[in-house]
Structure 1
Amino acid sequence: MQSSANTIEAYLAELPPDRRETVAAVREVVLANLPEGYDEGMDFGMICWHVPLSRYPDTYNGHPLGYVALASQKRYLSLYLMGAYADGDGFRARYEATGKKLNMGKSCVRFTKLDDLPLELIGEVVAEVSPEQYIEIYEKARGLR
């Protein structure tokens, strides 16, 4: 379910109350741990935290360089942790060590309720990569360095 909301407030308002509470709680964890230099906004129909185009305009698709995103899908919620994928299997091992069951897609962690997520780990993962480090990871992956 991709949203056409232009603001985070509008996005949250269109969610059912239980989903709104869950998304708001995960958003708070991200905001509390997000390194300085990332911006929050809407992109691709979801809440995104990204390197602003004013800082890094040369992305492959013209959109800001996404670092974390949060979306309400039809059957679950998705948390996209792009920085965690640079960690290889380290994120998977850290997640499983929390005792929570990891439901990980090709690019996201899927969950249905807040208790499914190890919020402390999510905060740690969000806090780990500065925008400068993320740009370096991105450029290496794209063969630009």
Structure 2
Amino acid sequence: MTIEAKTPDEYLEKLPKERKEVISKLRETVKNNLPRGFEECINYKMLGYVVPHSIYPNGYHCDPKLPLPFINIASQKNFVALYHMGIYANPELLDWFVVEYPKHVSTKLDMGKSCIRFKNIYTIPYQLIAALCQKMTPQEWIALYEKNTKKS
């Protein structure tokens, strides 16, 4: 489900009621737990949390006009998604998350490279998402991003 919005609040306003509550709670969890320096925005038609150009002027290598993406939240057709680029780029962080997930949720982890899919919106592990958000500062993300993009 693609949502056309210019601001995070507009994005939320366009969601169905049951998704609005869940996405709002997920948004607050991320905002309240990300280290200082990340900024909230709309990018890729989702709620985004990025390293702004004021901190990382190079921007995203695919399109340097865009800030460096880190986390996105989206209401998809059949699930709520949390995209976390740090999990994709850092195997240790991924391993930590995979071990911690079953301690919070009884259902199987449904995950792609950076996408965590929540098909059951009533079992989103907000405490685990909060802990995940606290694990990487903008400076740590920039260093990891640069290390990984130099390999390619």
Identity %: 37
Q: Which residue of 2 aligns with 1:96?
A: 102
Extract unaligned runs of 5+ from structure 1: none
Give distance in 1, aligned partners of 2:115 and 2:45.
15
Secondary structure of 1:32's aligned partner:
helix
Listed as ranges, the matches of 1:1-145 within 5 Å are: 1-58=1-58, 59-60=60-61, 61-62=63-64, 63-85=66-88, 86=90, 87-101=93-107, 102-143=109-150
Secondary structure of 2:112's aligned partner:
coil
Q: Select the structure that is richer in helix.
A: 2
Secondary structure of 2:99's aligned partner:
helix
Give distance in 1, aligned partners of 2:69 and 2:143.
13
Task: Note the alpha carbon deviations across 1:20-46, whole angstroms, 9 max, x for none.
Answer: 000001111111101000000100000
Task: Note the alpha carbon deviations across 1:63-84, whole angstroms, 9 max, x for none.
Answer: 2111111001111110012223
Deviates more, 1:50-59 or 1:16-25: 50-59
Contact 1:83 1:126 in 2 (8 A): no
In the superposition, the TM-score normalised over structure 2's length comes to: 0.88
Cα 1:57–1:76 shift into 2, 3 Å = same
In the superposition, the TM-score normalised over structure 1's length comes to: 0.92
Give the letter aligned to residue 146 of structure 2: E
Question: What stretches of structure 1 move > 6 A for 4+ residues in a row?
Answer: none
Give distance in 2, aligned partners of 1:47 and 1:99.
24
Give distance in 1, aligned partners of 2:18 and 2:120.
9
Deviates more, 1:124-133 or 1:93-102: 93-102
